[in-house]
Amino acid sequence: MSQLSRIQRICDANGISGFEDDVVRAIRDEAGTLGRFAEDSLRNLYLYRTENQSDKPVVLLDAHTDEVGFMVKCIRPDGMLEFIPIGGWVSSNIPAHLVRVQTFDGKTIPGIVGSKPPHYQSEAERKSAPDIAGMYIDIGASNIEQALQMGVDVASPIIPEAKVIYNKENGLLFGKAFDCRLGCTTIIDVLDALKGKQLDVNLVAGFASQEEVGCRGAQLTARKVKPDVAICFEGSPADDTFLPAYQQQTIVGKGPMLRFIDSKMITNPRFQKFALDIAARFDIPVQKGVRNGGATNASALHLSEQGVPTIVIGIPVRYAHTHWGVSSLDDVQNSIRLASAMLTELNAQTIATF
pLDDT confidence of 97, banded at 50, 70, 90? very high
What distance lies between CA 265 and its chain's CA centroid? Answer: 18
In this prediction, residues 181-197 reach a mean pLDDT of 99
Residue 48 lies in a domain: yes
**CA-to-CA distance for 136 and 304, rounded, in angstroms?**
40
pLDDT of residue 1: 66
Residues 316 and 328 both lie in one domain: yes
CA distances from 68 to 103, 209, 268, 323 (A): 18, 12, 28, 9
Residue 170 inside a domain? The answer is no
pLDDT, position 129 = 87
Q: What are phi and psi of 93, to 5 degrees?
A: -90, 0
**In a domain? residue 111:** yes
Reported as a single tens digit per residue, the pLDDT across 54-75 is 999 999 999 999 999 999 999 9
Percent of the chain with pLDDT over 70: 100
Residues 211 and 343 in one domain: yes
Instruction: Give percent of the chain with pLDDT exceeding 90.
Output: 96
Q: Which of 294, 34, 314, 29 is nearest to 178 (CA)?
A: 314
C-alpha 2/C-alpha 7 separation (Å) is 9
* Cβ neighbours of 104 (radius 10 Å): 12
Question: Could you report the per-residue pLDDT of 133-155, keeping only the tens digit for each?
Answer: 999 999 999 999 999 999 999 99
In Å, the largest CA–CA distance within the chain is: 69
| pLDDT tens-digit series, residues 194-249 | 999 999 999 999 999 999 999 999 999 999 999 999 999 999 999 999 999 999 99
Question: What's the pLDDT score for residue 22?
Answer: 98
Q: Is residue 53 located within the same domain as residue 130? A: no
Q: What is the mean pLDDT of the chain?
A: 98
Cα–Cα distance for residue pair 140/11, rounded to 1 Å: 27
Q: Which residue has the higher pLDDT, 99 or 126?
A: 99
Interval 49-57 mean pLDDT: 96
Phi first, then psi, for residue 108 (nearest 5°) are: -125, 140
328 and 232 in one domain? Answer: yes
Give the CATH number of the domain where residue 99 resides: 2.40.30.40
Q: Is there a single domain that holds both residue 335 and residue 286?
A: yes
Q: Which of 128, 160, 192 is the last residue of a domain?
A: 160
Q: Which residues of 252-291 are buried (b: 16+ CB within 10 A; e: fewer)?
A: bbbbbbbbbebebbebbeebbebbbebbeeeebebbebeb
295 and 322 fall within a common domain: yes
Q: Which residues are catalytically annotated?
A: 211
Q: Which helix (H) or strand (E) holds 203?
A: strand 202-208
Evaluate whether residue 167 is within a structural domain.
no
pLDDT tens digits for 299-349? 999 999 999 999 999 999 999 999 999 999 999 999 999 999 999 999 999
- CA-CA distance, 292 to 321, in Å (whole number)? 18
Average pLDDT rounded to a whole number, residues 247-257 = 99
293-325: burial string, b at 16+ Cβ within 10 Å, e else: ebbbbbbbbbebeeebbbbbbbbbbbbbbbbeb
Asked if residue 107 is part of any domain, the answer here is yes
Q: Give the domain extent around 31.
A: 3-67+176-352
Q: At 127, which helix (H) or strand (E)?
A: helix 123-127
Q: Per-residue confidence at 8, pLDDT binned at 50, 70, 90?
A: very high
302: amino acid identity, one letter: H
Judge if 312 and 201 occupy the same domain: yes
Calculate the CA dihedral of residues 51, 30, 16, 235 and round it to 10 degrees. Answer: 70
Same domain, 230 and 339: yes
pLDDT at 125: 85
Is the Cα dihedral 321, 40, 48, 220 positive or negative? positive
- State the Cα–Cα distance between residues 301 and 306, nearest whole angstrom: 11
Residues 130 and 34 in one domain: no
pLDDT of residue 10: 99
Residue 219 shares a structural domain with residue 310: yes
Tens digits of per-residue pLDDT, 110-130? 999 998 888 998 998 888 989
Tens of pLDDT, residues 10-22: 999 999 999 999 9
Note whether 63 and 74 are same-domain residues: no
Gap between the Cα atoms of 263 and 298, Å rounded:
11
Q: How many C-beta neighbours within 10 Å does residue 112 have?
A: 15
Whether residues 147 and 281 fall in one domain: no
Q: For the domain that residue 226 is a member of, what is the CATH number? A: 3.40.630.10
Q: Answer whether 95's CB lies under 8 Å from 149's CB.
A: no
Compute φ and ψ for 227, nearest 5 degrees.
-75, 155
pLDDT in tens, 265-277: 999 999 999 999 9
